[in-house]
Structure 1
Amino acid sequence: MEEISAFRRQLETHRPADWETLPDFPLYMDQVLSYMERQTIRLDESDALTASMVNNYTKNALVPRAEGKKYNRDHLAYLTFVCILKQVMSVRDMDLLIRTELSDDRSVENGYRAFLESLDGALSSTVQEMGAYEGTDNLADAAVHFGLLSYAAGLVSRQYVAQLRARTEPAGKPDKAEAKKAAKSRKERKD
């Protein structure tokens, strides 16, 4: 059970960097990949961010295009959002949430701060829930419990996304032009 205790401690203490501590100088792709390893909690190498993934996220307008071949603080914020949420939602849903969270006058900085606050609350409540299983060897009961919490939270998340989509995309599926326009808007707001 030492592995579970160590994992619980990691969930208690590991958080992505605050906005102020994100690098305020441009990074090349290999530096971004290395930095992002510290931003998320990974269970194994299959969760690692790759250059191909970053390129796909950029192509799908989830992350703004690099400036030359360099990535800045905004890029790291977007990538943190995507790397964490890709575990539980589709690219289409993440795109909608990014476009909504950073719409109007909300800056990337403020959106990132709000994201970190929600993440901290989610991790903290999960750590608290883990306390009920501390000292027990019944791994199956604990796994089922957290699987069901994930199921319930996923249902709620999908319902909120569906309501948001109904408000923002009443005609149905968004077109590629709208996604590109949103990406351009994010880039202009950053500049």
Structure 2
Amino acid sequence: MENNKDILDGMQLNSQLSLEEIPDLDLYMDQVIQLFENKFGILKRDENEKVLTKTMINNYAKGKLFFPIENKKYSKVHMMLIAMIYQMKGALSINDVKVTLDPLNTMITEEGFDLTDLYKRYVQMADESMGQLKDEMSLLSEEVTKHIVALDSEKSDYLTQLLLVASFVNMSNYYRRAAERIVDNIAKENI
């Protein structure tokens, strides 16, 4: 059975698209897809999974998850928004992502908001969250081990994994529900 460190190392949690990795020049769709594939390809569970496709990007554009592109090229700001969409869509519905990003898109297009500083903080907080996850996994693993030892079973490795999966899913659901409540507040405030 893998230990927590092995699991975390294998998850490549520090995979955020940093500002330094986003080119300062505008990119065509195929170049955007390649950038994301190069950065997030290590997160795929299998080779058939796609990080980002033309269809996905077109659906994000049609759904107005980001402001319109110019001359078939995506700016650095578009790529920051697509990176945020990529992360959010793992836990939220596309509609919730849209509701969350609508005010930001308006700020960018109508108020000239510079996304750069916010995006830096977003990446920084993602890194900090990874540290928190490591701490939480360690504590949760200790708790699960106590419960499994009390069972005194020949299948303790499997039962440990089962309880860890169930606990991680529960935590994920709690975080997702908290995020959805915030999205609902954003929706109410921006009606």
Question: Who is 1:179 aligned against?
Answer: none
SS of residue in 2 equivalent to 1:25: coil
Q: What does residue 9 of structure 1 align with?
A: 9
1:124 paired to 2:131: yes
Tell me which residue corresponds to 1:58. 61
Decide which of 42, 45, 60 is 2:44's aligned counterpart: 42
Contact 2:33 / 2:52 at 8 angstroms: preserved in 1? yes
Paired letter, 2:186: L
Alignment of 1:112-191 (within 5 A): 112-132=119-139, 133=141, 137=157, 138-169=160-191
Identity of counterpart residues, as a percentage? Answer: 23
Q: Measured at CA, do residues 161 and 13 of structure 1 come closer, stay the same or move farther in structure 2, by a change above 3 Å?
A: closer
Matched, 1:99 2:121: no
Cα deviations by residue, 1:129-184 (Å, 9 ceiling, x for unpaired): 222438x7321111111111111111211111112222221xxxxxxxxxxxxxxx
In structure 2, C-alpha distance between the alignment counterparts of 1:105 and 1:141, rounded to whole Å: 48
Q: Distance in 1 between matches of 2:97 and 2:13?
A: 26
Q: Relative contact order: is structure 1 or structure 2 higher (C-alpha 8 Å, sep ≥ 6)? A: 1
Give the C-alpha shift of residue 100 in structure 1. Answer: 2.9
The CA RMSD over aligned residues, in Å, is: 2.7
Q: Using the alignment, how far apart are the partners of 1:81 and 1:166 within structure 2?
A: 22
C-alpha contact (below 8 Å) 2:29/2:74 kept by paired residues: yes
Do the aligned residues in 2 keep the contact of 1:27 with 1:71 (CA within 8 Å)? yes
- Measure the CA separation in 2 of the matches of 1:9 and 1:94: 28
Cα gap change, 1:50/1:99 in structure 2, threshold over 3 Å: closer, same or farther? same
Superposition deviation, residue 99 in structure 1 = 2.4
Any idea what SS the aligned residue of 1:88 has? coil
8 Å contact kept, 2:66–2:101? no
Structure 2 residue 72 is the aligned partner of structure 1 residue 85: no
Q: 1:56 to 1:156 in 2, by over 3 A?
A: same
How far the C-alpha of 1:27 sits from its partner, in A, is: 2.1
* Pair 1:30 & 2:30 matched: yes
TM-score of the two chains, using structure 1 as the length reference: 0.74
Q: Which has the larger radius of gyration?
A: 2
Partner in structure 1 of residue 150 of structure 2: none
- Number of aligned residue pairs: 169
